[in-house]
Amino acid sequence: MNQVDYLRISLIDRCNFRCQYCMPDGEELHYILKEQLLTNQELLKLIQGVFIPLGFTRFRLTGGEPLLRPGVVDLIKAIASFPETQDLSMTTNGFLLANMAQKLYDAGLRRINISLDSLDPNTFEQIIGNHGRGRWQQVWQGIQTAYRVGFDPLKLNVVVIPGVNDHEVLNLAALTINKSWHVRFIEFMPIGNWQLFGDRGWVSSTQLRQIIRDHWGLKASQVRGAGPADVFQIPHAKGTLGFISQMSECFCDRCNRMRLSADGWLRPCLLNETSQIDLKAALRAGISTTELQLQVKQVLAVKAEINFKQRDSGIVDTYTRTMSQIGG
């Protein structure tokens, strides 16, 4: 297995969108109470006192919607200031980005992934849960601002859902031709909305690549991501196309990450709900960071076993947490 040095940190489980593929239809989500969230101080203590000593150098802030987290700019400043931090990035829906991009950049954030599942405002509204008009425009403005401010690489995440946005694959891929934007197609996973998954199914990366290859041709990119994406390029394009194929492939051997939820649960694998540990409860019970390092080390030691052999253990029928709750 790869060395595990990358922590995805969920800052909050709430989101200002209700994306169809992420949230269960018509059900109330049970949000984490404010007092159950890791405070900024606790989070920084875990990063500095537990994860950095264990060799973690790369951090991604996600959620829910990370830009909804109060004090997110200060948090970025603090994480970026640790000398061991080699990479600090964020996954966001981009809705609040137009006003925040410069502040985030000045605080030390350099890489950003923005979810953009459609270029058609109506389809977009449908996917994000019809919160009203103008959301697509605001996200698009957020993307343009982030690009102007200098975020590099700027990645756009697309979950492809049959009959919803699969007809837009070429238009979305075309965004990489003239700008060094990186579009990443993510296979739809049965987490969050089983009903939609059952109704619609998913489109494989192989199918998507064929559609793109038939139109422009496609070559393997020289740019190699550190993560699970297979990276390709339309000939002569400035940006790249990434394909994240967790449904059609097992890339556990390339997995280099763990996930920390907003309420302090550390999970070794996105798809596994066993072997997670409650770091917040441990911190609040006064357990030292040295002892917590040992506990995290134990989780690291069983990660390979969990990835390859127990991917579905601990799951009865459905995953109990959505991506917005785990930290996508």
In the complex, minimum distance from the CB of residue 9 to ligand SAM, in angstroms, rounded to a whole number: 11
**Cβ distance to ligand SAM smaller for residue 191 or 292:** 191
Rounded least distance, CB 313 to ligand SAM, Å: 20
**Between 191 and 299, CB nearer to ligand SAM:** 191
CB nearer to ligand SAM: pick between 265 and 283: 265
Residues that bind ligand SAM in the complex, under the rule CB under 6 A: 15, 21-22, 62-63, 65, 91-93, 115, 157, 159, 186, 188-189, 191-192, 323-324, 328
In the bound state with ligand SAM, the residue whose beta carbon lies nearer, of 89 and 221, is: 89
Residue with nearest beta carbon to ligand SAM:
328
Q: Least distance in Å: CB of 72 to ligand SAM?
A: 13
Whole-number minimum distance, CB 63 to ligand SAM, in Å? 5
- Minimum distance from residue 91 beta carbon to ligand SAM (Å): 4
What's the closest the beta carbon of residue 114 comes to ligand SAM, in angstroms?
Answer: 7
Q: Which is nearer to ligand SAM, 85 or 193 (CB)?
A: 193
Q: Which is nearer to ligand SAM, 65 or 230 (CB)?
A: 65
Give CA–CA dist 216/328, Å, rounded.
31
